[in-house]
Amino acid sequence: MGLLTVIRKQKMKDRELRVLLLGLDNAGKSTIVKRILNQPTASLTPTMGFEITSVSFGEHNLNIWDVGGQQTLRSFWFNYFDQLDALVWVIDASQLDRLHEVFRELYTVLQNERVHGVKLLILLNKIDLVNTGLEDLTSTVIKELELDSYGPREEKWQIIQCSAITGEGIHQGLEWLTS
Q: Would you say 170 is a known binding-site residue? A: no
With 0-12 CB in 10 A as exposed, 13-18 as middle and 19+ as buried, what is 79?
A: exposed
Q: Would you say 11 is a known binding-site residue? A: no
Q: Would you say 128 is a known binding-site residue? A: yes
**What element of type H or E holds 178?**
helix 170-178
Q: Would you say 30 is a known binding-site residue? A: yes
Q: Cα 163 from chain centroid?
A: 13
Q: Would you say 69 is a known binding-site residue? A: yes
Q: Would you say 167 is a known binding-site residue? A: no
- The active-site residue, picked from 70, 71, 95, 158, is 70
Q: Is 70 a catalytic residue?
A: yes
Residue among 57, 90, 100 nearest 159 (CA): 90
What is the DSSP-derived secondary structure letter of residue 108? H
Q: Would you say 49 is a known binding-site residue? A: no
Q: Where are the beta strands (DSSP E) in the chain?
A: 16-23, 50-57, 60-67, 86-92, 119-125, 157-161
Q: Would you say 26 is a known binding-site residue? A: yes
Q: Would you say 66 is a known binding-site residue? A: no
Q: How far apart are CA 84 and CA 117, in angstroms?
A: 10
Q: Which residues are annotated as a binding site for Mg(2+)?
A: 30, 47
Q: Which residues are annotated as a binding site?
A: 23-30, 47, 69, 125-128
Residues classed as catalytic: 70
Q: Which residues are annotated as a binding site for GTP?
A: 23-30, 69, 125-128
